[in-house]
Structure 1
Amino acid sequence: MHRQLNPLILSLSAILLCGCSSKINRTLSPPADTKWVNVEIKNPSPYTKPFPLEVKYISHQCLKKRVSGFDGSVITEPSYNAIQIPLQQQSGDIWQGKVARVGGGSCKWTLSAVTLGIEYIEATHLGKDLVLGTAVGVTLEFDDNKYRNQWLKSVEGNLHLSPKYYPYIKEKKIDKIENSVSLFGKDDFLSLRAKNLRKITYNPLIDESKITKLIGNEKKIKGVYPKIIYPDGSIAPERTLFPNFDKVDRMKVK
């Protein structure tokens, strides 16, 4: 798997290393009457594949303690439980899975967040010896963390998403670093606040007729920066860090 780990999982891993996480019972046991979130993903290309659902549960029953890095005080906070749920391929390009809103167990786990999306699994048609880069998708926040989620758009009921993505090839020259290919969109990972969400349908679109490239330098030279070259041959302003999705989306390429 060449996908870069989601920041959600990375931050969670750091949390689990703190305090008394080893004493927490992370066994899930959804009750019979739990509500489910159904996920359906339509794989847009034979060169991509949906990755397993990254699911995070939270417990306000089994608390953990950590030492503050600011003043050394002991902070008590909820525990988290990260799991992956494999998607099952149905007919054709449809993949499905479901997530329990209530994870149950002795810690009374409840759903905190779900991350889903797609990634390249093969890209020889786009170039030779390309390393498969990062994934794209959406993260849905379910717990009522006002500090983290207050600015997110809220969704409920049945959610249908059809984001568009384009290939982004990074050609790095210094130290013979391998070239990579990823997808990029308006939001590589869209974040939404979920309220009473029952079903998520994710139907991404990929347009490989427009390829954006980042061309690295042959060697380190002061004042010389990598260039982002758009599908029509135009070059992004110097020191541009990320390609402009709207520019690519509007672009007419022969």
Structure 2
Amino acid sequence: MYNQSKIILLSLVLFTVAGCNISRTVNKTLYPPANTKWVNIEVKNPSQYTKPFPIEVRYISYGCMKKRISGFDGSVITEPSYNVIGIPMQQGSSDIWEAKVAMTGGGSCKWALSAVTLGIEYIDATHLGKDLVPGTAIGVTLAFDNDASRNGQFTSSIGDLNITRKYYPYIRERKIAEKTKSLSLLGKENFLSYRVSKFSSIYFYPEVDEMKIVRYIEPSKKTDGVYSKIIYPDGSVAPEKTLFPDFDKVDKMKIN
């Protein structure tokens, strides 16, 4: 599922939307002008078991400001409004999926593109285990303005952006709080972050190698001295209390 991408994108959005003049509801209707610049996005689907999830797009408006109460001192803070929408990708030739996003959203609030999240997720997990269900997604978050990139964790990119990364299946068996077996994708970074400028196209071409499967297995119950295990494709086990798999180790691992 793309819940993880939703968390990344929606964490940028501050809650409580008031009206353009605080007394009226924000008009979130988009009317891209005829002369708007469009962002061309391509995602290559690497497997019959995966699929690009709908692009999550965030627009920002300084024309329709909102007010919220500070949780620190109760003061009133005036901030821009946000408008988050989903845009389904369309399958083009073969395994290439495409979408276009307007830089200028227009409308009465003068919406402008701020951030986009794109990527892929498993839609079928049973080929690697009959009890497996699809887990979290992987992908890219793009910042188009200073507001979206204000946390400083974005790599600067000038010109068209071509991204190719390798991912491996990651099976997680949870047995304590919830009893689930999910299949996700493991990457060096599950979501890459870029601050883009002077571009027209974004290309994301992920690769999935299902010859190397990483497993996370929880114990059946909480017991002192008994910890979850991370098992690598060659059968080796990560040191006790390891929380996340070592991607570089998996990537360099030779499997017969």
TM-score, with length taken from structure 2? 0.93
- Equivalence map 1:49-64=2 (5 Å): 49-64=51-66
Which residue in 2 is equivalent to 1:215? 217
1:53/1:115 contact within 8 Å kept:
yes
2:160/2:198 contact within 8 Å kept:
no
2:114/2:148 contact within 8 Å kept:
no
| Cα drift, residue 171 of structure 1 | 1.4
- Equivalence map 1:37-48=2 (5 Å): 37-48=39-50
| Cα drift, residue 229 of structure 1 | 0.6
Task: Tell me the SS of whatever aligns to 1:174.
Answer: coil
Which residue in 2 is equivalent to 1:65? 67
Which residue in 1 is equivalent to 2:146? 144
1:59/1:78 contact within 8 Å kept:
yes
Q: What CA RMSD, in Å, does the superposition of the two structures yield over aligned residues?
A: 1.8
Which residue in 2 is equivalent to 1:25? 27
Task: Render the CA deviation track for 1:73-108: whole Å, top value 9, x for unaligned.
Answer: 000011100001111111211110010111111111
Q: Which amino acid aligns with 1:40?
A: E
4+ residue segments displaced more than 4 Å = 18-22
2:33/2:105 contact within 8 Å kept:
yes
| Cα drift, residue 16 of structure 1 | 4.2
- Equivalence map 1:109-148=2 (5 Å): 109-145=111-147, 148=150
- The alpha-carbon distance between structure 1 residues 146 and 33, as it changes in their structure 2 partners (threshold 3 A), is closer
TM-score, with length taken from structure 1? 0.94
Say which of 229, 245, 248 aligns to 1:246.
Answer: 248
1:47/1:122 contact within 8 Å kept:
yes
Task: Tell me the SS of whatever aligns to 1:249.
Answer: helix
- The alpha-carbon distance between structure 1 residues 11 and 149, as it changes in their structure 2 partners (threshold 3 A), is closer
| Cα drift, residue 173 of structure 1 | 2.6
Say which of 175, 179, 182 aligns to 1:180.
Answer: 182
| Cα drift, residue 243 of structure 1 | 0.6
Say which of 106, 109, 113 aligns to 1:107.
Answer: 109
Number of residue pairs the alignment of both structures matches = 252
- Structure 2: 5+ residue runs without aligned partners? none
Task: Tell me the SS of whatever aligns to 1:247.
Answer: helix
